[in-house]
Amino acid sequence: MENAYHNLKDFVSIPPPIGLLSIAAVAIRNGYEVTIIDGDAEGLSTEQIISKIVEINPAIVGATIMTATIEIAKMFFTLVKNSLPDACVIVGGPHSSALPEKTLVDLPAVDIVVVGEGDYTIIDILQALEKNDNLLNIAGIAFRHNNEIIRTIPRIPLQDLSALPTPAFHLLKKHLYRPYGWSRWPSGIDGPLGVIFTTRGCIGKCNFCASKTVFGDGPRNFSMQQVIEQLEFLVHEWNIRILYIQDDTFTLNSKRVEELCDYIISKGYNKRLEIQVSSRVNTINPAMLKKMREAGVRWIFFGIESGNQEILNKMDKNITLKSIREAIRIAKQAKLFIGGNYIIGSIGETRETAMDTINLACELDQDYASFSTAIPLPGTGLYQHCLDNNIPLPAWNDFGNVNTPPISLNKNMTAADLYELRDCAVSRFFKRPSYFLKLLFRMRAFVVIKDFIKMYLAIRKEKAEKRF
């Protein structure tokens, strides 16, 4: 959190690490003892985390790593190995799944990289290590052997997600997890926060998304019974008030949406929960959104990305400006709070097309908007575009979004141009008097004003420290 957000870290959500919780649950079901240390949630320093690990003295230490945390991971796992030289270090996540061999080169203290989903891969690894078997027989990993790096055959994504146990939420301290700042605008409720996946994967082929490196192509559903079991645990054991449904596209299947909404309504959870979902503009209809609102869905976020049709086409978004406007219209009609995600600087972007995006965001007048610059993450079409066109890429630590220089993908746009356009987008959207007055009218005015003041001061500090 400190590395990525600095003065802005108080505005960022800290959700339960659902991927690790799923892996932990499978390991526990197979008889292994598991502990999770969430350093960000617990506010621990690196030294404190290492101390906790040494105290546990585990046979295996694992973590999810991202592109922008490679340098942190290198330092961290070197300290782990120095303290526990016999421990086996395993990493997974989108970066290592996209570049498993490179990850082992960059992180000398890592022994095994999991490629793709790790739920069952971890069991194969644990059993092989116990029996001192050859890791070559395990699909979906890369590892070191006799000073060589070996990558095994790909592992097919798990098709029957109903075989997975409920994530091991009991391993976490529930009070540590919090939503984004704007989640509390409607009611002032700041948590507790719960997270659920009802599907894995997405129908989209967007060239900026690295989700497929872990989840593969296409969506797969958890059984509704699994979803309900997780919901019941979070409601009764964690006493959650805010629920993030983390599916890439919650609205893919209208029958499943209706079934879950009907269950929430029948239990009366819609009277206590504020739910947030993500959606695509071409997967919704008025009846669905009306049902979602009745079930307690307050926020719906759309990946709008651009206000220029040509740029949308180059992103492989498979949506139109007409469908964007229509989706916002019916979401407003359903009385949902609406968020829009936008990207500036994608392939083919010019100052004029970027202004199209800024103008569209202001025209649509959502309740919240997020403006990021395009990041060519490994495993994405943007990353391959950079390789194919000899576009220089920065060190991994500069693949962040908030406090790192934008990465220019177009010869006609410099990093300074992207800084300026992103700043313009934020200013144009959030500094409109009509927007602020609307927030004060629709939301808890005191909460909104307090957040705007805190954000203003935080951004001033970031600019003063030349990070924003």
Q: Which residues contact 335 (CB under 8 A, 6 or more apart)?
A: 293
Query: Over the stretch 322-372, which tens digit does the pLDDT of each residue have?
Result: 999 999 999 999 999 999 999 999 999 999 999 999 999 999 989 999 999
C-alpha pair distances (Å), 154 with each of 83, 143, 158, 199: 33, 13, 12, 21
Provide the mean pLDDT of the chain. Answer: 93
Strands (E), 199-273: 199-200, 220-221, 242-245
* Domain-wise residue ranges, the chain: 17-151, 177-464
Superfamily for domain range 17-151? Cobalamin-binding domain (3.40.50.280)
CATH number assigned to the domain covering 177-464 = 3.80.30.20
C-alpha pair distances (Å), 384 with each of 126, 374, 407: 34, 13, 14
Beta bridge mates, 305: 342
285, 172 Cβ separation under 8 angstroms: no
Give first-to-last CA distance, the chain, whole Å.
Answer: 16
pLDDT at 292: 98
pLDDT at 402: 65
Q: How confident is the model at residue 461 (pLDDT cuts 50, 70, 90)?
A: confident
Q: Among candidates 392, 319, 308, 389, which has minimal Cα distance to 350?
A: 308
pLDDT at 24: 97
Q: Is the pLDDT of residue 87 over 90?
A: yes
Q: Among candidates 270, 341, 265, 259, which has minimal Cα distance to 300?
A: 341
pTM: 0.93
Q: In what order do the strands lie in the sheet with 368-373?
A: 193-196, 242-245, 274-279, 297-305, 337-344, 368-373
Query: Over the stretch 280-322, which tens digit does the pLDDT of each residue have?
Result: 999 999 999 999 999 999 999 999 999 999 999 999 999 999 9
Q: How confident is the model at residue 394 (pLDDT cuts 50, 70, 90)?
A: very high
Over residues 177-199, the mean pLDDT reads 91
**Which tokens go with 164?**
């997975």
Q: How confident is the model at residue 90 (pLDDT cuts 50, 70, 90)?
A: very high
pLDDT at 397: 87
Least confident range of 155-159, 268-272, 335-339, 359-363: 155-159
Q: Is the pLDDT of residue 6 over 80?
A: no
Q: Classify 107 as helix, strand or coil.
A: coil
What DSSP letter does each residue of 433-448 carry, written as one string? HHHHHHHHHHS-HHHH
pLDDT at 455: 83
pLDDT at 465: 75
pLDDT at 357: 98
* Other C-beta atoms lying within 10 Å of the C-beta of residue 236: 9
